[in-house]
């Protein structure tokens, strides 16, 4: 019986799901629980960001050519150090590290692969705007029995993910995750005085069609004509289709995604010609797009690169980028119509 005043904790929820799966060994539960501990530590540090000497860039550039903030490094280290000892991971991959991260030899290895962006939206840290951690979990490919760490074993299409989700460090800290296969998308809010994530958003479903479009319109001149026509479409007036849509753009993917997941709408980061080294836009397939694509699919939405489902893209590189259209199913289908077809 549920004690009054105490909600369902994330651990309770994961254990219930584990019991429903007769093949489960408990390893996955251990993995998620340890990731949650890491997120609590990051959340505490993010909340103190204005108080301690942890703000500001380090002066270093990461492999994505972006300024590395101190909190990025902290979050990256916390996740790696907390996750490497549990005996469930084959390896990890982080936005902050160019190569796969091996498990130190003195710890046992498992079959799971954890890919993560430790602190997404980090350019928003200094201005108190929501940031987050994104994660996707895979199993080592069938037949992977050798001990050598091979990139090919980690590079799998997003539909192979066994779980995915994110933590958002905002007005409160929330974890949203799914294990796919119809188990639903669930959100848990960190209750600081109890120190636990409690179920706050059960079985989240995104509206089939939304009213919000989210895109960095400052890039308008860098887009091709199809992309411009798509954005012009969402801004045009048409009573029947509920346009114009409202524009909302935070610049933290997790925050923009979370809002649109709850309210409906479309987030877009298209290909552009702003930086010749990034012709597919800014976002990373394995570390950002795939986890959110799994969440949105399970919530009844859709994610595409304008031509095909994100989850079906065969990755070639751990850090490859992709255009991303994600959100309400009908809105993303509209995006596909413009990007890969003739428009409406
Ligand atoms: P930062 O981590 O450099 O702030 O980048 C955040 C991000 O990867 C993603 O969270 C945003 O959706 C996107 O970049 C914003 O990019 P623009 O500043 O080009 O709009």
DSSP letter for each residue of 84-102 = TTSS-EEEEEETT-SSPEE
Of 121, 214, 247, 268, which is best to mutate to test ligand 1, by the most ligand atoms within 8 angstroms of its C-beta? 121
Residue nearest to atom 18 of ligand 1 (CA): 251
One DSSP character per residue, 190-247 reads EETTTTEEEEEE-S----SS-SEEE--GGGGGGS-HHHHHHHHHHHS-BTTTTBSPEE
For a pocket test of ligand 1, which of 282, 285, 287, 323 has the largest count of ligand atoms closer than 8 A to its C-beta? 282
Please provide the distance, in angstroms rounded to a whole number, between the alpha carbons at the two ends of the chain: 54
Q: How many helices (H) and strands (E) does the chain have?
A: 8, 15
Please spell the DSSP secondary structure of 101-168, one letter per residue. Answer: EEPPTTS---SEEEEEEEEETGGGGGGT--EEEEEEEEEPPTT--SSS--HHHH---GGG-SEEEEEE
Backbone dihedral angles phi then psi of residue 126, each to the nearest 5 degrees: -65, -15
Atom of ligand 1 nearest to the CA of 131: 10
Taking the centre of ligand 1 as the mean of its atom positions, its distance from the CA of residue 336, in whole angstroms, is 22
Residue matched to tokens 């629980």: 33
Ligand 1 center from residue 36 Cα (angstroms): 24
Query: What tokens were used for 311?
Result: 């989850």
176: left (phi over 0), alpha (psi -120 to 50) or beta: beta
Q: Which two tokens stand for residue 59?
A: 């002066």
Nearest CA to ligand 1 atom 5: 121
DSSP 53: T
Q: Are 282 and 322 in contact (CB under 8 A)?
A: no
- The span from the CA of 216 to the CA of 248, in Å, is 9
| Other CB atoms within 10 A of residue 263 CB | 16
Residue 81 CB coordination number (10 Å)? 11
User: What's this model's pTM, rounded to 2 decimal places?
Assistant: 0.93
The b-or-e profile of 268-300 (16+ CB within 10 A means b, else e) is bbbbbebeeeeebbbbbbbbbbbbbbbbbbbbe
Cα 257 to middle of ligand 1, angstroms: 12
What residue owns the CA closest to ligand 1's atom 20?
Answer: 216
Total number of residues shown for the chain: 344
pLDDT tens per residue across all 344 residues of the chain: 444 456 899 999 998 888 887 777 788 999 999 999 999 999 998 887 766 555 556 666 666 666 656 888 999 999 999 999 999 999 999 999 999 999 999 999 999 999 999 999 988 887 889 999 999 999 998 656 666 777 888 899 999 999 999 999 999 999 999 999 999 999 999 998 889 999 999 999 999 999 999 999 999 999 999 999 999 999 999 999 999 999 999 999 999 999 999 999 999 999 999 998 889 999 999 999 999 999 999 999 999 999 999 999 999 999 999 999 999 999 999 999 999 987 67
Residue identifier of the C-alpha nearest atom 13 of ligand 1 = 251
CB 172 within 8 A of CB 190: yes
> Which DSSP letter does residue 184 get?
-
Ligand 1 surroundings by CB, under 6 angstroms? 66, 120-124, 216, 251-253, 256, 282
Q: What is the pLDDT of residue 64?
A: 64
CA distance 188 to 181: 20
Q: Which of 96, 116, 120, 122 to mutate to test the pocket of ligand 1 (most atoms within 8 A of CB)?
A: 120
pLDDT at 55: 57
Contact 71, 125 (CB under 8 A): yes
The closest residue, in CA terms, to atom 17 on ligand 1 is 251
Residue having the nearest C-alpha atom to atom 1 of ligand 1:
121
Q: How remote is the CA of residue 121 from the centroid of ligand 1, in Å?
A: 5
Relative to beta strand 173-178, strand 163-169 is antiparallel
């Amino acid at each position: 019986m549920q004690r009054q005043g105490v909600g369902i904790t994330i651990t309770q929820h994961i254990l219930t799901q584990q019991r429903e799966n007769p093949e489960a060994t408990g390893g996955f539960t251990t993995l998620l629980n340890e990731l949650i501990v890491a997120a609590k530590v990051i959340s505490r540090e993010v909340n103190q960001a204005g108080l301690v000497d942890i703000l500001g860039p380090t002066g270093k550039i990461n492999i994505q050519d972006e300024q590395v903030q101190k909190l990025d490094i902290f979050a990256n280290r916390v996740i790696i150090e907390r996750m490497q000892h549990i005996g469930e991971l084959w390896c990890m991959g982080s936005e902050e590290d160019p190569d796969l991260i091996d498990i130190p030899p003195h710890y046992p290895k498992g079959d799971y692969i954890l890919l993560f962006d430790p602190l997404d939206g980090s350019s928003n840290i200094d201005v108190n705007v929501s940031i987050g951690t994104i994660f996707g979990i895979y199993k080592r490919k069938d037949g992977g029995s050798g001990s050598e760490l091979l990139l090919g074993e980690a590079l799998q299409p997003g539909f192979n993910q066994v779980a995915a989700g994110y933590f958002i460090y905002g007005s409160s800290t929330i974890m949203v995750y799914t294990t796919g296969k119809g188990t639903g998308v669930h959100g848990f809010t960190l209750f600081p005085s109890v120190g636990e994530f409690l179920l706050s958003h059960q079985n989240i479903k995104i509206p089939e069609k939304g009213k919000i479009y989210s895109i960095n319109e400052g890039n308008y001149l860098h887009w091709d004509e199809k992309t411009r026509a798509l954005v012009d479409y969402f801004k045009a007036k048409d009573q029947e289709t509920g346009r114009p849509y409202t524009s909302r753009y935070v610049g933290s993917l997790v925050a923009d995604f979370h809002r649109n997941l709850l309210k409906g709408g479309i987030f877009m980061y298209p290909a552009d010609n702003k930086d010749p080294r990034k012709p597919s836009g800014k976002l990373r397939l394995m570390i950002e797009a795939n986890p959110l694509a799994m969440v949105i699919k399970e919530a009844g939405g859709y994610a595409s690169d304008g031509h095909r489902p994100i989850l079906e893209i065969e990755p070639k590189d751990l850090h490859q980028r992709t255009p991303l259209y994600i959100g309400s199913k009908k809105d993303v289908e509209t995006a596909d119509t413009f990007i890969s077809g003739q428009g409406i």
